[in-house]
A and B are shown apart, each in its own frame.
Chain A
């Protein structure tokens, strides 16, 4: 029974990713046509990002392993993707539902509130707003050379992006409704077992204080097994603030691309969360496929691809050597964990850098 539920969750996630990809593609085409860059639409590797992303998600060995292990990660991933899809489609109640459940199941999707608000306010990803302003001022001023048909085709939609408040307010109301409902159900269920306070202490408190030191593919378990007691609280704060600190700079720089922002947030939280697993990596690798058009010329892609394969193969071997055979020690396994987090760092940094370069390239084309 659990198998079926997890497989269905996986499949629905893939379908939602595909639908999100289609929406993104539509928005991209519209923006590029408005900016009068039809050449880019034809010349660039015009992959159907939605199909590619859903196929990557379904065929990723990490996702398959998660399903076979009967983890609850596919359900977490489903909720996150549901949030993103619903926000792209401007469905506030559904987005609120996904957001509340994703936060309830694991704490870290709470940081997705910013991309969700931006998605609901501005709509799906688009080139920076400055380009639109530039374009509109250009078109008002001095371009008799422009085609009339393109202008007429475009004036009906894609005006200057303005932040629409109504979906966001709806979202907030629905978030409060859904969270009250979920907490009410939890309190009924836990009446004899300590109530809501016990639940928060044992779920959120456990995630934030890193109570259990079992090995996983992250770096926190060994760190907190070796750090001196005096510094434990300090380093807990350091690790969690590292996730929180990056929210604002990324949001400032990438506010015109909220879907990509959501991808970067999921990747950062998958790297720095207290108990990471391959299910989290499966999620952001699937979402990476949504931006295949923009990230086509990402640096180090060869290194990253084979790095992921190498770490996925070496990590279980080192775990076996350490725990089952006793011929290795903890450092072997921890080294693969460190390499894995380095790879994730490189992936995040390079994808952000490539996306910004893509925007600069668009700007160059528009202004030139």
Chain B
């Protein structure tokens, strides 16, 4: 102890101080753990909403939200927010963008048409892309082209087919009101598979390794009836970039009892849980997420059928929710005094490996209910036969929900906006537009409030129809019909399976005065759930019609050489014989006439006499016979072997 000089004690002390200092540094890092997103204010939250559907299926809606503050504050460095998306927004000056990949058709009759989930997540089959740009008008088209290429590479899909002007359109007010900076394109024939899901999941901070995204068991998701993954970008100077990714699947739970429990032939709804649907349970949230919640929604139609009033409404004679939810969030009752839907919240924070979270519902008694519908059910079909012309008809059927939307039926009118984009080879004649209400044709000026048509140009532009109609509330059905001629394409322009036909993208029907939004009085901002925030946002009710398959005449694809040869032969015949006729001199003509007049033996006697003169010598005859014999023997020899 006495031998320790002050000099040797210095480094020891220094080392001790350094050790203590580093410990103090490490602890805050572990403590924070990304729970508030680290430096810069980036946030990430994940939510899952489950909902039993009236036709024995289950809706699962995954909702992921990333937010990045304005770039002035954050610079170019990102902690949680995907850099590819931020670069996309900066490079192409995007104000708003939505890209959706959908497989299957949303069944508006059974799964609902006017609740916030269906209006926002019911998308047309295939790929749909629309974007609002912050650029002058002449720069938007080249930017759109580059954007489609960038997205195509980012998501492994053929979005680059939307680059040519024949594939996209710029609606003025039929889709969103804008001032010329909106571009909208759809590819109905695009197939969606895991190849598109994987890059979509890569954008999430935790990928599909932890948190709610780890539930995405691919075989279950792709066996569903409807599958739609959607990416939505919102960018502004003040709020920065907000990225919302949602995945909506409609699944059929495997276990369902087929026993009839009551005389009314109602089957018991299938009981399901997370482990049954996705073969996994929640074992903890994504550590980078600010909040991670699971909601189970019971819609208004269902709750109306349950007349018991109990404190814990999640356990009653019809069904049991398990485990008990952390909170129940009730929707405000509507003006008719009907009970509203309920959301049951489960926090994933409390679960971990030892205490997994498995949300589910067990049905005890059969129950039949119906979802809320939009005022009119929109569908579209083709009329006419033959490959020369046809008609497109859009029909709107009333869903008998008048009392929900309209008060007095007598004097009210409901406005409807229809947007339809049609490719150029389906040449629509807009002057043949006919509207009939309840089977009776109407004068157009009575029904149409506003109409804007961008006619198609061959090989250049698709045809866009935006029309605002006003229908009486009491009407039962309405039909719009348009005639069209079918075009003829070059053989290069046909898809590989040409005889299947061509797809006309879905038309969009919007109800401008009707909003799908709910209000949850129990919800306050400190809850910070972006899904609930979305459910409360005012969003117009809209529905997409079917994709139409139009068969076009096909030329014979095996014939290019033959066609060219035939046509050129005819041309050569014309050219040659005409020049020959013009060329003939008078003397030659007379010689020809003279020769024709003189007595000439026929062709066959002439040849025969020539042949017989040659065969006068016997040697030649023997030679000929010998060669003929050799040929016959050779022929039979070859054939027999």
Is B582 within 8 A of A215, CB to CB? no
Query: Given the known A-B contacts A229-B492, A345-B573, are A360 and B560 also in contact in the complex, defined by CB atoms under 8 Å?
Result: no
Is A227 within 8 A of B560, CB to CB? yes
Is A324 within 8 A of B556, CB to CB? no
**Complex-state Cα separation, A326 to B553, whole angstroms:** 9
The answer to whether the Cβ of A203 comes within 8 Å of any Cβ in the partner chain is: no
Most buried by A among B553, B555, B567, B589: B567
**Complex-state Cα separation, A356 to B580, whole angstroms:** 12
The answer to whether the Cβ of A322 comes within 8 Å of any Cβ in the partner chain is: yes
The answer to whether the Cβ of B73 comes within 8 Å of any Cβ in the partner chain is: no
Residue from A211, A228, A356, A357 in contact with B560 in the complex, judged by beta carbons closer than 8 Å? A228
* Residues of B172-197 contacting chain A, CB below 8 A: none
Residue from B458, B556, B564, B586 in contact with A223 in the complex, judged by beta carbons closer than 8 Å? B564
* Residues of A58-78 contacting chain B, CB below 8 A: none
**Complex-state Cα separation, A357 to B582, whole angstroms:** 11
Is A349 within 8 A of B578, CB to CB? yes
How far apart are B199's CB and chain A's nearest CB, in angstroms?
34
**Complex-state Cα separation, A326 to B489, whole angstroms:** 17
Is A324 within 8 A of B570, CB to CB? no
* Residues of B545-559 contacting chain A, CB below 8 A: 553-556, 559
The answer to whether the Cβ of A342 comes within 8 Å of any Cβ in the partner chain is: yes
The answer to whether the Cβ of A144 comes within 8 Å of any Cβ in the partner chain is: no
6 contacts between A and B (CB under 8 A): A212-B488, A219-B570, A226-B560, A323-B386, A345-B578, A352-B578
Is A222 within 8 A of B563, CB to CB? yes
* Residues of B104-155 contacting chain A, CB below 8 A: none
**Complex-state Cα separation, A352 to B554, whole angstroms:** 39
* Residues of A314-368 contacting chain B, CB below 8 A: 322-326, 329-331, 334, 338, 341-342, 345, 348-349, 352-353, 356-357, 360, 363
**Complex-state Cα separation, A323 to B485, whole angstroms:** 12
The answer to whether the Cβ of B566 comes within 8 Å of any Cβ in the partner chain is: yes
Q: Nearest chain-B residue to A330 (Cβ)?
A: B555
* Residues on the B chain within 8 Å of A213, using CB: 488-490
Query: Given the known A-B contacts A221-B488, A348-B578, A356-B584, are A227 and B564 also in contact in the complex, defined by CB atoms under 8 Å?
Result: yes
Given A226-B559, A322-B387, A330-B555; 9 other pairs, CB 8 A cutoff: A223-B567, A249-B579, A250-B582, A253-B582, A272-B571, A322-B553, A326-B386, A331-B559, A338-B566
Residue from A229, A249, A324, A341 in contact with B385 in the complex, judged by beta carbons closer than 8 Å? A324
Is A345 within 8 A of B553, CB to CB? no
Is A330 within 8 A of B570, CB to CB? no
Total inter-chain residue pairs, C-beta < 8 Å: 104
The answer to whether the Cβ of B574 comes within 8 Å of any Cβ in the partner chain is: yes
Is B387 within 8 A of A326, CB to CB? yes
Q: Nearest chain-A residue to B578 (Cβ)?
A: A349
Task: Report A223-253 CB contacts with B as 1/0, cut-off 8 Å.
Answer: 1111111000000001100100110011001
Is B556 within 8 A of A329, CB to CB? yes
Q: Nearest chain-A residue to B563 (Cβ)?
A: A226
**Complex-state Cα separation, A226 to B557, whole angstroms:** 8
How far apart are B523's CB and chain A's nearest CB, in angstroms?
56
Q: Nearest chain-B residue to A344 (Cβ)?
A: B574
Query: Given the known A-B contacts A323-B386, A324-B388, are A330 and B556 also in contact in the complex, defined by CB atoms under 8 Å?
Result: yes
The answer to whether the Cβ of A214 comes within 8 Å of any Cβ in the partner chain is: yes
**Complex-state Cα separation, A224 to B582, whole angstroms:** 31
The answer to whether the Cβ of A282 comes within 8 Å of any Cβ in the partner chain is: no
Q: Nearest chain-B residue to A332 (Cβ)?
A: B556
Query: Given the known A-B contacts A211-B458, A212-B458, A352-B582, are A225 and B488 also in contact in the complex, defined by CB atoms under 8 Å?
Result: yes
Binding site for A on B (CB under 8 A): 385-388, 458-459, 487-492, 553-556, 559-560, 563-564, 566-567, 570-571, 573-575, 577-579, 581-582, 584, 586, 589
**Complex-state Cα separation, A215 to B553, whole angstroms:** 11
The answer to whether the Cβ of A271 comes within 8 Å of any Cβ in the partner chain is: yes
Residue from B555, B582, B584 in contact with A225 in the complex, judged by beta carbons closer than 8 Å? B555
Binding site for B on A (CB under 8 A): 211-215, 219, 221-229, 238-239, 242, 245-246, 249-250, 253, 271-272, 322-326, 329-331, 334, 338, 341-342, 345, 348-349, 352-353, 356-357, 360, 363
Query: Given the known A-B contacts A224-B490, A242-B575, A323-B387, are A353 and B581 also in contact in the complex, defined by CB atoms under 8 Å?
Result: yes
* Residues on the A chain within 8 Å of B589, using CB: 357, 360
* Residues on the A chain within 8 Å of B577, using CB: 345, 349
**Complex-state Cα separation, A227 to B385, whole angstroms:** 29
Residue from B387, B554, B573 in contact with A324 in the complex, judged by beta carbons closer than 8 Å? B387
**Complex-state Cα separation, A222 to B386, whole angstroms:** 19
Is B586 within 8 A of A360, CB to CB? yes
How far apart are A209's CB and chain B's nearest CB, in angstroms?
11
Most buried by A among B387, B554, B571, B577: B571
Query: Given the known A-B contacts A322-B553, A323-B388, A330-B553, are A226 and B574 also in contact in the complex, defined by CB atoms under 8 Å?
Result: no
* Residues on the A chain within 8 Å of B490, using CB: 213, 224-225, 229
Query: Given the known A-B contacts A214-B488, A324-B388, A356-B584, are A222 and B555 also in contact in the complex, defined by CB atoms under 8 Å?
Result: yes
How far apart are B484's CB and chain A's nearest CB, in angstroms?
14
**Complex-state Cα separation, A219 to B566, whole angstroms:** 10
How far apart are B587's CB and chain A's nearest CB, in angstroms?
10
How far apart are B164's CB and chain A's nearest CB, in angstroms?
16
**Complex-state Cα separation, A342 to B474, whole angstroms:** 65
Q: Nearest chain-A residue to B559 (Cβ)?
A: A226
**Complex-state Cα separation, A352 to B579, whole angstroms:** 10
Q: Nearest chain-B residue to A218 (Cβ)?
A: B567
**Complex-state Cα separation, A352 to B580, whole angstroms:** 11
Q: Nearest chain-B residue to A355 (Cβ)?
A: B581
* Residues on the A chain within 8 Å of B563, using CB: 222-223, 226-227, 334
How far apart are A224's CB and chain B's nearest CB, in angstroms?
7
**Complex-state Cα separation, A221 to B567, whole angstroms:** 11
Q: Nearest chain-B residue to A326 (Cβ)?
A: B387
Is A331 within 8 A of B564, CB to CB? no
* Residues on the B chain within 8 Å of A272, using CB: 571
**Complex-state Cα separation, A242 to B584, whole angstroms:** 20
* Residues on the B chain within 8 Å of A324, using CB: 385-388
* Residues on the A chain within 8 Å of B574, using CB: 242, 271, 341, 345, 348-349
**Complex-state Cα separation, A268 to B571, whole angstroms:** 11
**Complex-state Cα separation, A334 to B584, whole angstroms:** 33
How far apart are A90's CB and chain B's nearest CB, in angstroms?
28
* Residues on the A chain within 8 Å of B564, using CB: 223, 226-227
**Complex-state Cα separation, A249 to B458, whole angstroms:** 39
Is B388 within 8 A of A356, CB to CB? no
Is A341 within 8 A of B570, CB to CB? yes
* Residues on the A chain within 8 Å of B566, using CB: 338
* Residues on the B chain within 8 Å of A349, using CB: 574, 577-578, 581
* Residues on the B chain within 8 Å of A249, using CB: 579, 582
**Complex-state Cα separation, A341 to B574, whole angstroms:** 9
* Residues on the B chain within 8 Å of A215, using CB: 488
* Residues on the A chain within 8 Å of B581, using CB: 349, 352-353, 356
**Complex-state Cα separation, A77 to B194, whole angstroms:** 64
Query: Given the known A-B contacts A224-B490, A330-B556, are A246 and B458 also in contact in the complex, defined by CB atoms under 8 Å?
Result: no
Q: Nearest chain-B residue to A215 (Cβ)?
A: B488
Q: Nearest chain-B residue to A348 (Cβ)?
A: B578
* Residues on the A chain within 8 Å of B579, using CB: 249
**Complex-state Cα separation, A352 to B582, whole angstroms:** 8
**Complex-state Cα separation, A249 to B581, whole angstroms:** 11
Residue from A212, A223, A323 in contact with B553 in the complex, judged by beta carbons closer than 8 Å? A323
**Complex-state Cα separation, A227 to B579, whole angstroms:** 27
User: 5 closest A-B pairs (Cβ-Cβ)?
Assistant: A324-B386, A226-B560, A345-B574, A213-B488, A353-B581
**Complex-state Cα separation, A325 to B555, whole angstroms:** 15
**Complex-state Cα separation, A328 to B581, whole angstroms:** 38
Q: Nearest chain-B residue to A220 (Cβ)?
A: B567
Is B553 within 8 A of A342, CB to CB? no
**Complex-state Cα separation, A212 to B424, whole angstroms:** 12
Q: Nearest chain-A residue to B590 (Cβ)?
A: A360
